[in-house]
Chain A
Amino acid sequence: MLTHLFFFLISYFVLLTLIVWGVKAEIDQEKAWKLEESDEKRRQRAAGGRRGRASRSATGARMTATDAEEGKGRDARARRRDVR
């Protein structure tokens, strides 16, 4: 009976410890993944912003990199005029 009691206590302790440590580790893990995801999004936004700044016109009107490549916007129109 005594050995059975000890066996139960240790098994129960192991079970609880596994659950508690497991939950703690998983929550930390999820936090880390969320941070990674948000960092990745921020990096993407920053990269997009750089492209935007590179193609920004003198008046400060925002324009995407694609627009700039296609020759839209005031600067592009001015360049075309100069060429003519």
Chain B
Amino acid sequence: MFGNVMLATLLLALPVCLRFPFIGFLLYCWFDLAAPHVVFWNSLEFLPLAQLIGVATLAGVFVYWRGPRMINAFTVLLLMYVVWFTITYFQAFVPDAAQFKWDRSMKVFVPLAIMSMMLTTRARIELVMWMLVGVITASAIRGAALTLIWGGGGLVVIGPLGSFIEDRNVFATVMVMAIPLAIYLGAHSLHRPKAGIGRLIAIVVPLLILVAVVGTFSRGGLLALAAVGLTAVAFSRHKFVIAVTVVIAAVALIRFAPESWIERMGTTAEYKADASAMGRIKSWTFAVNLVREHPLGGGFAVFHLNHVEDAVGTEGYLDAHSWFFEILAEQGIPGIVLVLAIFLGALYRLYRVMRLSRASPELKWAGSLARTLFLAQCAMMSGGFFVGIGSYSFTYLVSMCAFSLYVIVRKPTAVAIGEPVASAEGDTAVPLASGGDAAPRRPRRDRRDRRGRAVALEQAPGSRARA
């Protein structure tokens, strides 16, 4: 029944995707992360629903896309990366496996590149964030419940089966990314239902996510949490309050976390005795050696050549276990340079927005948003360093928002986007993307003289207005 209801809703949403292509992209990303076709209706897997959403959205782009197109640095870098990984795909060392991954990557990166051109307003950036937080929260509530009832565990608290976030390390990383996003959206979003509910979201959702992160028993998740905590203290305007909150959270974590969790986290320092950690180091060594011999990379799925034999004698391969080494080995030095340009470029732009927002009270929202995205990006880069998430959509979503935010803030005409500002007439200008916070109002262009006759406001100096 769940599947049928979800399926009917998504089919009914197809015209919406056609009419409003941005919502189509949003649903496409939601579909990618939540994987409802696997979770809710196994029997209907034959229906290419993601493909249908994609086709309707692309048709909408050509037919109904209105408004400005914003080709920013992210779009260019991402498209360059798409071209590069297509070149390496043709020279892949493991062609069969590479084809599958190339196909998946194209389905992720090309829609992201088009979507980045449509992220022209604060309201749209926040919708992307809501989508990410919504998907994560749905899984995190389940994870938190399982943690509180059964104490969690790496095989219990995982993402939706069959989705990109199924693996517990990936799931933990994404959840840590979602913590600052949830706090921002609950406190400042244009799409908040009510202030009280917003505050509730800002408090409850991060706590639930924190419990679920502990429940995953992921050491990468713990490192991501530490990175977020330290970055929050370093970049926050209320350093003391944030520092005290982080310390209280850390003490509470140690006090209430299960013994098994503390034992597992303790093995992080003694990595030489841990097979999992040593496996990662072997994978990274493989990647470095491969790039030394082949600086242009080995193409997608090159880690299939990283053979390993377990204790029983079964042959397999060790995965990358790091976005950095995954891209380095697969796409070579040009690929990693492009991806680092995206990630570090996003961090630089967010830092610039934080600096710009200090001088202007109108950009206060942008400063808060930039700090939030900065934390999420740090969480992704630190937690993701221990998981192979180089070709997943959520890895690039935060960077996409960061680049768009920078363009919005830098454009003088776009400062007003989403924020009502005083115009020259002393009236309130149209909020270009009110996003439900305030309906757009027509600015007053005409004034009346004493006799009630219309007087044009924009007159040439010295000319007399005529009624």
Contacts and interface: CB of A to CB of B under 8 A. Distances in A.
Contact of B440 (A6, A26, A32): A32
A15 B30 contact: yes
B180 interface: no
A77 to B, nearest CB: 24
A8 B160 CA distance: 11
Interface residues of B, number: 55
B23 interface: yes
Q: Which of A3, A15, A31 has the most CB of B within 10 A?
A: A15
Interface string A1-27: 001111110111011111101111110
B124 A25 contact: yes
Given A25-B433, A25-B436, A28-B439, A8 B2 contact: yes
B6 interface: yes
Interface stretch (B137-145, B164-172, B306-314, B398-406): B137-145
A10 B434 contact: no
Nearest to B433: A29
Contacts of A35: 430, 440, 442-443
Interface string B104-136: 000000000000000001011001001100110
A6 B141 CA distance: 8
B360 interface: no
A70 interface: no
Given A7-B39, A33-B67, A53-B463, A25 B5 contact: no
- What class of interface size applies to chain A in its complex with B? 35 or more
Contacts of B459: 50
Contacts of B137: 10, 14
Interface string A23-51: 11110111111011001001100110110
Contact of B66 (A7, A33, A54): A33
B101 to A, nearest CB: 27
Contacts of A11: 6, 34, 36, 39-40, 135, 138
Contact of A39 (B39, B191, B443): B443
Interface in A50-84: 50, 53-54
Contacts of A3: 142, 145-146
Contacts of A32: 430-434, 440
B142 A24 contact: no
Given A11-B6, A18-B134, 8 more contacts: A11-B39, A18-B27, A19-B23, A21-B130, A24-B436, A32-B430, A36-B430, A36-B432
15 contacts: A7-B160, A8-B2, A14-B30, A15-B27, A17-B134, A18-B134, A19-B23, A22-B20, A25-B124, A25-B434, A25-B435, A29-B123, A29-B432, A35-B443, A54-B463
